[in-house]
């Protein structure tokens, strides 16, 4: 099969992904083989490729927003059938025995595997995954439109849940990329008033088009005090201005897996019971609940399509904020 192989992390400008022939993967017991149709390009992929996340598998095929067709069943796999359309997301497998899994917090599992990081992912023509950890893709989404839902959508949904917003809440997004352009549609569906703090006129315009009541620069102060804010940008320097924008008791959710250093700040920014909390991965329940809500709305994704062989270019465009919405690789090209 054709695949984009990361042999060693390096700046994406140096084209570290090698578009090459790789052995077709084979499903082990309880796994399924998926012929990949589309794979979303996530900022986490960029962190893996550039080494901001320490290498866990080398070489590795990145990619964890996979939409494809079940082509083969491993021994004992019975939940899916050949020809089913499925989605494979970041959470690849958990041990189901540690204290976190037993408590229903599998996103915090002590021994997890992650698609495109500890296990080969979807920047390829084929991928395998445990059948217990794949999703049915709602029929009203095309392959290209469904791909960004499988990480940007799911992690944004978990961020929204942890923010505690209710109907009438004021919520800000710091950074307006793939996750935010999906999450705003859920937030508006739930009746929240949304503000967008993001650099670049095109991102601000997209936010306004999707229902934001205000859009301004990333460090700008919104015109109203906020009940909650979600920081999607991997920029620690935005934590103080986001805290400053919160009302008493407000919640700041950090939605990234990697972030630049957070500068020191005056305790008064945190005082009055403001809360900072991070989001780590997602549970399968998050994914199932989100995909159901996404189909009900229905979510409209804005995507830029790249052929598989141009994964380096897609990641470079993502890094330099040239993507408005989400980037998706067409793995059949």
pLDDT digits (tens, 9 = 90+) for 1-35: 999 999 999 999 999 999 999 999 999 999 999 99
From residue 77, how far is each of 72, 132, 141 by CA, in Å? 10, 9, 26
Distance CA 165, CA 304 (A): 30
Q: Name the residue among 328, 331, 330 with its Cα closest to residue 152.
A: 328
Task: Specify whether the CB–CB gap between 124 and 63 falls below 8 A.
Answer: yes
Q: Tell me the per-residue pLDDT of 206-251, one tens digit each, with 9 for 90 and over.
A: 999 999 999 999 999 999 999 999 999 999 999 999 999 999 999 9
Q: Name the residue among 9, 29, 2 with its Cα closest to residue 93.
A: 29
Q: How confident is the model at residue 67 (pLDDT cuts 50, 70, 90)?
A: very high
Of residues 227 and 200, more confidently modeled: 227
From residue 130, how far is each of 33, 35, 36, 127, 133 by CA, in Å? 9, 14, 15, 11, 6
Q: Tell me the per-residue pLDDT of 289-329, one tens digit each, with 9 for 90 and over.
A: 999 999 999 999 999 999 999 999 999 999 999 999 999 99
**SS3 assignment, position 284:** helix
Q: Tell me the per-residue pLDDT of 260-299, one tens digit each, with 9 for 90 and over.
A: 999 999 999 999 999 999 999 999 999 999 999 999 999 9
Superfamily of domain 2-152+282-330: Medium-chain alcohol dehydrogenases, catalytic domain (3.90.180.10)
The residues, ordered by sequence, that sit 6+ positions from 11 with a Cβ below 8 Å of its Cβ are 50
Question: What percent of the chain shows pLDDT beyond 90?
Answer: 99
End-to-end CA distance of the chain: 12
Query: What are the structure tokens assigned to 297, written together?
Result: 């709305």
Average per-residue pLDDT for the chain? 97
What is the pTM (predicted TM-score) of this model?
Answer: 0.95
Asked if CATH classification 3.40.50.720 holds for the domain at 154-278, the reply, yes or no, is: yes
Q: How confident is the model at residue 178 (pLDDT cuts 50, 70, 90)?
A: very high
Q: Name the residue among 109, 116, 124 with its Cα closest to residue 57.
A: 116
Task: Specify whether the CB–CB gap between 25 and 121 falls below 8 A.
Answer: no
Q: How confident is the model at residue 198 (pLDDT cuts 50, 70, 90)?
A: very high
**SS3 assignment, position 11:** coil
pLDDT at 144: 97
Domain chopping of the chain, boundaries: 2-152+282-330, 154-278
């Amino acid at each position: 099969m054709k695949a984009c192989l990361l042999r060693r992390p390096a700046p994406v400008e140096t084209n570290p992904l090698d578009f090459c022939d790789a052995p077709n993967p084979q499903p082990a017991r309880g796994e399924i083989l998926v012929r990949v149709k589309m794979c979303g390009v996530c900022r986490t992929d960029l962190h893996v490729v550039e080494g901001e996340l320490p290498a866990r598998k080398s070489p590795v095929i990145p990619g964890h927003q996979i939409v494809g067709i079940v082509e083969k069943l491993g021994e004992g796999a019975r939940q899916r059938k050949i020809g089913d359309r499925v989605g494979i997301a970041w959470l690849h497998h958990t041990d189901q025995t540690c204290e976190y899994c037993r408590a229903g917090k599998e996103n915090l599992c002590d021994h997890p595997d992650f698609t495109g990081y500890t296990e080969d992912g979807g920047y390829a023509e084929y991928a395998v995954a445990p059948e217990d950890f794949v999703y049915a893709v709602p029929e009203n989404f095309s392959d290209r439109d469904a791909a960004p839902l499988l990480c940007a959508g799911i992690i944004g949904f978990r961020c929204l849940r942890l923010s505690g917003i209710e109907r009438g809440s004021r919520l800000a997004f710091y950074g307006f990329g793939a996750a935010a352009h999906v999450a705003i549609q859920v937030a508006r569906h739930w009746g929240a008033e949304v503000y967008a703090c993001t650099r670049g006129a095109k991102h601000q315009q997209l936010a306004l088009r999707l229902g934001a009541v205000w859009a301004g620069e990333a460090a700008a102060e919104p015109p109203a005090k906020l009940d909650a804010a979600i920081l999607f940008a991997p920029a620690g320097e935005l934590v103080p201005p986001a805290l400053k924008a919160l009302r008493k008791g407000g919640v700041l959710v950090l939605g990234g897996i990697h972030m630049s250093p957070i500068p020191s700040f005056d305790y008064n920014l945190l005082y009055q019971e403001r809360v900072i909390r991070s989001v780590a991965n997602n549970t399968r329940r998050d994914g199932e609940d989100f995909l159901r809500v996404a189909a009900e709305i229905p979510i409209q994704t804005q995507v830029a399509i790249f052929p598989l062989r141009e994964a380096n270019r897609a990641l470079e465009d993502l890094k330099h904020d040239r993507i408005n919405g989400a980037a998706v690789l067409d793995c059949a090209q």
